[in-house]
Structure 1
Amino acid sequence: MSNSANATPDDATLRVWEKTIDVQQHFNNIELQIRNYALTLFTAILAGIGYLLKEKITIPFHDYLIPSSAIGAFIGIVIMCAFYFMDKYWYHKLLIGSVTHAMRIENKFTTTFEDIGLSTTIGKYSPVNIMGQKFRSDWKYYFFYYPLIGVFVALYFILLIWA
């Protein structure tokens, strides 16, 4: 196999590229599953907090009565932060590695074999423009997880004070 821009991929290179694309899909699916589980748990924890608040269940701690609903909100913070960490700093790093590997293969052949540029094309269309600011995949986590974590943080302090 030649490294020139006019090289044509051989069968082995195409199989490696196809497997790399499969790995990308695998890590992308895992990330989507993580977010699905995060939303499911977010909703379940909110429901649990509502129940604990309705029942006015408290836990005595020295001279204080701690609302169990506030403890539920704190647990929500911990769980959402764990999902955020696993998604962004674990599986997304693996996805980026597989994308980088595929793009390296694609860059060898895109001049003469345009159909092998999937990762490059996805990378081109992936960023989102919001009010003139371009956000790539690393920033999209903030839009997904920060509101979820923020709801639990706000609930935690509100419930500690007023519940």
Structure 2
Amino acid sequence: MTTTKAAQKRAQAKVEYNAFLAECPSRQLLDRISDKWVVLILCALGGDSPGQPGAAHADTPKAMRYSEISRLLAGVSQKMLTQTLRSLEHDGLLTRTVTPTVPVTVSYELTDLGLSLHHMTRGLRNWAQTHMAEVLANRENYDARTS
């Protein structure tokens, strides 16, 4: 009978996702999508242009090759980029398309689910870029007070 109760609890938890609970799968998803590389990959595939938040073409998703993404994301290691792209594909946020050319062409593109998340991450990216000067000034003020 204990198994039934445990199964019922799991079923109920699926209906009522609560990221404040440690065992909730939505918390694990939040951990994944709050990663800086995830945010930047979603912004890149969503068509955001570096340094131009709110550009006219910012809502036009585009397929990108691995090398394009790698060049755009300054500082990302090959291992981290590969792991992040795989996890996003696993979660259904992007698709990976292999074209049999010489050499093989691999491109990545947002799914509808990924595009819906991109709209959220674009806002985070724009907020960070818009308010960075203010945050840096606050850091300096804090450091001056606490030193």
Bigger share in helix: 1
Say whether the fold is shared (TM-score over 0.5).
no
TM tier, smaller? under 0.3
Choose 1 or 2 for highest CA Rg: 1
Greater relative contact order structure (CA < 8 Å, 6+ sep): 1
Q: TM-score, normalization: structure 2?
A: 0.26
